[in-house]
Structure 1
Amino acid sequence: MHYSSRHSRILALLAEKGTIGVGDLAQRLEVSVETVRRDIRTLSGRGDIVRRHGEIGLPSGVNEAPFERRMRENRPAKEMIARLAASTIRDGESVMFDTGATTSILARALLNHRRLTVVTNSSDIARTLATVNGNKVYMAGGELRSDSGAALGFSAIEFVNRFSVDHAIISAGGISASTGVMDYNLEEAQFGQAVLVRGRRRVVVADASKFGQKGLVQVCGLSEIDELIVNRAPPDDLVKALQTAEVAIQIAS
């Protein structure tokens, strides 16, 4: 079947992103929204894409869990951050993680480390690091979220409160100069806060798309973390706020 170059670009973008909005797609292709809508009608009529809730996606991808989609979004940036974060952890040390796409990718970057003690509420991280290289993995119990496979709530927090670790590492839904580290889910924010308290070194890993995002629920203020590991220098106002809070900024490249 013949595809125009623009149709091929649309399919390639969907393979990378999973789903995308019409307006965002028009911006990326540098064409009008009406042109994009004509393309969508053509591709949809062929069965190559499907439309749902103002977005389009590949037929195989519209039912993927939100967590799987987050694992693919900004993947190269998250992998750079993960490699840098992994390089700061030594064999035999203890690490506590919350559930998040960047922390899950970090777990994969630790597969060559040995004798780690890992505490997490993420079934993905637990599966990745358990039973290899002499690691010990402790996973918080409770009901697992269907989208991310994470245990949340009182029992998960009570579990991690029993540990004290070398590195407490969390992801973030957003980070800004005015509101600090934010998330979009109350239970995830509460768990992230509990993780940070248990670490001798408190680290947030976040790609540049999180800069300036205020989220819904505050995880902590900037003064409650020691390091921020990112893939790009933050905007000036955030840099100034981080410096005031004495937070070290590490930039992966």
Structure 2
Amino acid sequence: MLASKRHADILKLLEIDGSMAVSDLAERLGVSLETIRRDIKPLAESGAVLRMHGAVALPSALGEAPFERRMREMSAAKKKIAECVARTIADGESLMLDTGTTTSFLARELLGHRRLTVITNSSDIARVLASVNGNRVYMAGGEIRPDSGAVFGLSAIEFIARFSVDHAIISAGAVDLSGILDYALDEAEFARTVLSRGRRRVVVTDSSKFARAGLIHVCGFGDISELVTDAAPPTEIAEAVRAADASLTIAG
């Protein structure tokens, strides 16, 4: 059987089951484990499937893609947004960041800053900014999710609610005329709390989010100070942002 034919057969089987053990795939297709792993590799690299421990799945079967894969998506746009926002943050200021790939890019752009106070639920952001340049980093406590290295839940929300910061910055799962949306209730609740703690309230999102349908409403445009993205949003969204007296910044 040709590899391209097996690729199609793998996708057909996953469309039926959503996810399968690699050993089961090999048995169903009558090939060795080594062969099936070799077939899965290009599918995973292209984003057609997701690899897990001993299994493989369609992205739609697992909801939002794992953190590492999302860091590669729209990476140039996210870096441009991060550079833009980093220029608006001064040494010695305080900021609160929720977990997200764009906020993780921002953390890396802040490595040249000094004496920042950072509050986050992201182990990635905490690891990047802790113990450098005199920064003080506080991370919300609770169970760490294996997919994103982030913490959510009541204890995390109660922790961050103790702080008031210069810049509260969240990422967005989707943006439509109603405002900012996400895909999970606990993530939306955390992001909403982050925004409530900042004197400046910023949403960072790459332009691909304007084409997505979110599930959970985080906030309206009237609840933010600024929306920062890499390309102009649809006209109706841009008008809704300005009508809410929020700023729209196109990075670059």
| Superposition TM-score, scaled by structure 1 size | 0.77
Conserved? CA contact 1:48–1:58, under 8 Å: no
* Amino acid across the alignment from 1:184: Y
2:184 matched to which residue of 1? 185
2:16 matched to which residue of 1? none
| Superposition TM-score, scaled by structure 2 size | 0.78
Conserved? CA contact 1:49–1:58, under 8 Å: no
Distance in 2 (CA, whole Å) between partners of 1:107 and 1:165 is 16
> 1:162-201, aligned counterparts within 5 Å?
162-177=162-177, 179-201=178-200
Runs of 4+ in 1 over 4 A off after TM superposition: 44-48
Distance in 2 (CA, whole Å) between partners of 1:225 and 1:66 is 27
Conserved? CA contact 1:170–1:205, under 8 Å: yes
| Secondary structure of the structure 2 residue equivalent to 1:62 | strand
2:150 matched to which residue of 1? 150
* Amino acid across the alignment from 1:207: D
Conserved? CA contact 1:91–1:115, under 8 Å: yes
1:70-94 per-residue CA deviation (whole Å, 9 max, x = no partner) reads 1110000000000001001000000
Identity percentage of aligned residues: 57
How far is the alpha carbon of 1:58 from its aligned partner?
4.0
1:213 matched to which residue of 2? 212
* Amino acid across the alignment from 1:50: I
Distance in 2 (CA, whole Å) between partners of 1:157 and 1:56 is 38
Distance in 2 (CA, whole Å) between partners of 1:84 and 1:122 is 21
Mapped pair 1:50 → 2:43:
no
Inter-CA distance 190–47: structure 2 relative to 1 (3 Å threshold): closer
How far is the alpha carbon of 1:146 from its aligned partner?
1.1
Inter-CA distance 91–56: structure 2 relative to 1 (3 Å threshold): same
1:36 matched to which residue of 2? none
> 1:80-159, aligned counterparts within 5 Å?
80-159=80-159
Distance in 2 (CA, whole Å) between partners of 1:88 and 1:73 is 24
Inter-CA distance 147–47: structure 2 relative to 1 (3 Å threshold): closer
Structure 2 alignment gaps of length 5 or more: 5-10, 13-33, 54-64
1:13 matched to which residue of 2? none
| Secondary structure of the structure 2 residue equivalent to 1:80 | helix
1:13-50 per-residue CA deviation (whole Å, 9 max, x = no partner) reads xxxxxxxx89xxxxxxxxxxxxxxxxxxxxx9696441
Distance in 2 (CA, whole Å) between partners of 1:164 and 1:47 is 49
Distance in 1 (CA, whole Å) between partners of 2:134 and 2:102 is 23
Distance in 1 (CA, whole Å) between partners of 2:224 and 2:35 is 51
> 1:215-230, aligned counterparts within 5 Å?
215-230=214-229
| Secondary structure of the structure 2 residue equivalent to 1:170 | strand
Inter-CA distance 158–56: structure 2 relative to 1 (3 Å threshold): same
* Amino acid across the alignment from 2:138: Y
The count of corresponding residues between Structure 1 and Structure 2 is: 209
Conserved? CA contact 1:49–1:57, under 8 Å: no
1:165-220 per-residue CA deviation (whole Å, 9 max, x = no partner) reads 0000000000111x210000111000000000000000000000001423110111
* Amino acid across the alignment from 1:193: R
Mapped pair 1:63 → 2:52:
yes
1:76 matched to which residue of 2? 76
